[in-house]
Amino acid sequence: MRYLSIAFLAMLLVGCSEMTTKLIVDKVQPGTVLIADELGNGQGGIGTGFIVKENTIVTNHHVIAEPGKIYIYSPNSKKKYEAEVVFKDEIVDLAILKLKDWEAFEKETSPAIVQLGNSDETEQGEKIIVIGHPWGLDWTVSEGIMSHKGRRLGANPKFLDQVDAKLFQGNSGGPIFNEDGEVICVSNMMVAKEGGSYGFCIPSNLVKKVLYDVE
């Protein structure tokens, strides 16, 4: 019987191993954006979004719900770029934005396009990575696992997935990645309870349906 060498076994194991968190973040962070909804009175809010194809940014509806000017910031530039809402659904809590000058944004920031994964294939206990913008901070990464699939909260008709990674105000609308660097959920809400908090996200297959309906 022939035996595989230790060196060859090591090569096989490395080749089959999942990407590290750092490699995933390096790959996908240029596809995430900070969204600022400026109301013109010195107030407003921030949220997170991600680029799913050329000049198409996904976020939560509640991030852009107030009638103000919307600006996008890239991790590769401190310049802000004005955007407009081309679709919004309050019930699903998703919105789609387009930049008014995508060509300038693309030339100056070299954005990445992130891939939508199959949320139905993501199982409880699998690793997930969150990129978002907690208020007062930017491009913050947290890591955890998929805690539960298919939660229904209150009267909302949609099902949400539950994660144990930290979600903060400002993370809303941001991507949650699997170990292959695919978006499998969209940060949606945090429910604080005594002793801790719970993070909930919109499954990527619902995002795909919204994108298909818009097209």
Q: Which of 37, 62, 119, 142 is catalytic?
A: 62
Q: Spell out a b/e string for 79-93, using b for 16 or more CB atoms within 10 Å of the CB, else e.
A: eebebeeebbeeebb
**d(C-alpha 171, C-alpha 46), whole Å:** 9
Q: Is 141 exposed, middle or buried (0-12, 13-18, 19+ CB in 10 A)?
A: middle
Other C-beta atoms lying within 10 Å of the C-beta of residue 3: 7
Task: Tell me, yes or no, if 17 is annotated catalytic.
Answer: no
Task: Tell me, yes or no, if 138 is annotated catalytic.
Answer: no
Q: Which of 37, 74, 93, 133 is catalytic?
A: 93
**d(C-alpha 148, C-alpha 150), whole Å:** 7
Residue with tokens 């909804």: 37
Task: Tell me, yes or no, if 172 is annotated catalytic.
Answer: yes
Q: Which of 119, 172, 187, 204 is catalytic?
A: 172
**Dihedral over Cα of 88, 208, 143, 162: its sign:** positive
Residue 100's alpha-carbon distances to 22, 54, 103, 196, in angstroms, are 32, 12, 9, 41
Q: Which residues are catalytic?
A: 62, 93, 172
